[in-house]
Amino acid sequence: MTLAIRTAAPGDAEACGVICYEAFRTIATDHNFPPDFPSVDAAIGFTRMAIAHPEVFGVIAEIDGRVVGSNFLWEQSEVAGVGPITVDPQAQDAQIGRGLMQAVLDRAEETARRSVRLVQAAYHNRSLSLYTKLGFDAREPLSILQGSPIGRRIPGFSVRAAGPDDISACNAICRSVHGHDRAGELRDAIGEGTAVVVEHDGRIAGYSTPIGFFGHAVGETDDAVKALIGAAARFRRAWVPPADAQRAPPALVPRLRIAHRAADDLDEPRPLQRTAGRISAVDPVLTMFPLRKNAPDPKVRSIARLGRWPR
């Protein structure tokens, strides 16, 4: 049995998508949670999009020529994002996940990424153990609440569709809150027609890409984020093709990080604020952990080679 890691190619989308769906479905149903992808077709569509994206680095794991897993590094900004990483449930315990993770971490080091992040389901202890061994630090819990759109306005705040001219102001807000921007993801969301901005006193006070999975939101104040959540016509439960984004079914409301002062959260953990408003039909709360891994100091590169980047 020979394990090989290689760069993803368009022809890998279907095999990787099937594995992605089955891997998430297996671990989620084992813990009585809904899977991250609602169908095989959704997982295949997501994998096809990720492989084709010019700012996403994908890797494939093969055993004796058979695809058994995949992983992706999202390179739209100086802080790279990892995932989804998935391994065929029938091929577990063969160091495949470690190989896929090491491949994207090597890529992050080669491209001088400032930090690498991922979000991990808290019930998946095996993956948490792997990420910890690879040098990731757990930052804080994220809770995902399921429900219908709120349909609530916040006095003094107006929400509208985002356009290319808004990118600079949105990036400045993201940098003031998080210490870095997510310009690439914002550009993609504007192109898909899913990004919105919230304005207060004649200026942009926050923005969001799709509210829900595979999206993010940033606001200068609690009320700015509340306005974004309250104005959402739907909450995205899973990835959907851009053409279907506006008619995706209601689903998830994530707790969103907000801050009131400039700080770099790469070095300073901060608590999550509560979700705005009441959400109907709340199902069991899924807790997930965002993890981060900072770039290595050149003085300790020998440690980095062992997969343990300094904190």
pLDDT of residue 241: 55
Statement: residue 123 has pLDDT above 90:
no
Q: Provide CB contacts within 8 A for 223, sequence distance 6+.
A: 154, 156, 157, 200
Report whether the peptide linkage leading into residue 269 is cis, meaning its omega lies within 30 degrees of zero.
no
pLDDT of residue 121: 84
pLDDT tens-digit profile of 166-185? Answer: 999 999 999 999 899 999 99
> In the structure, what pLDDT confidence band is assigned to residue 110 with cuts at 50, 70 and 90?
very high
Task: Flag the least confident range among 66-75, 101-110, 182-191, 292-301.
Answer: 292-301
Task: Flag the least confident range among 19-28, 50-59, 142-151.
Answer: 142-151
Statement: residue 99 has pLDDT above 80:
yes
Q: From CA 45, how far away is CA 40, in angstroms rounded?
A: 9
Task: Flag the least confident range among 5-9, 66-70, 148-152, 304-308.
Answer: 304-308
* Type of residue found at 144: I
In the chain the beta strands, taken as DSSP E runs, fall at 3-7, 56-63, 66-74, 79-82, 86-87, 115-121, 137-138, 142-146, 157-161, 196-200, 203-208, 217-219, 252-254, 286-294
Domains and CATH numbers, the chain: 3-142+292-298 (3.40.630.30), 148-281 (3.40.630)
> In the structure, what pLDDT confidence band is assigned to residue 128 with cuts at 50, 70 and 90?
confident
pTM over 0.85, yes/no: no
- End-to-end Cα separation, the chain, in angstroms: 36
Task: Flag the least confident range among 214-228, 271-285, 286-300.
Answer: 271-285
pLDDT of residue 288: 53
Average pLDDT, the chain: 79
Statement: residue 154 has pLDDT above 80:
yes
Any idea how long the chain is?
311
Higher confidence at residue 170 or residue 31?
A: 170
pLDDT of residue 267: 36
CA 205 vs. chain centroid, Å, equals 22
pLDDT of residue 37: 87
Residue 206's DSSP bridge partners are: 198, 219
Statement: residue 129 has pLDDT above 70:
yes
> In the structure, what pLDDT confidence band is assigned to residue 256 with cuts at 50, 70 and 90?
very low
Statement: residue 163 has pLDDT above 70:
yes
> In the structure, what pLDDT confidence band is assigned to residue 54 with cuts at 50, 70 and 90?
very high
pLDDT of residue 92: 84
CB atoms within 10 A of CB 156: 11
Statement: residue 308 has pLDDT above 70:
no
Nearest to 149 by CA among 28, 50, 261, 276: 276
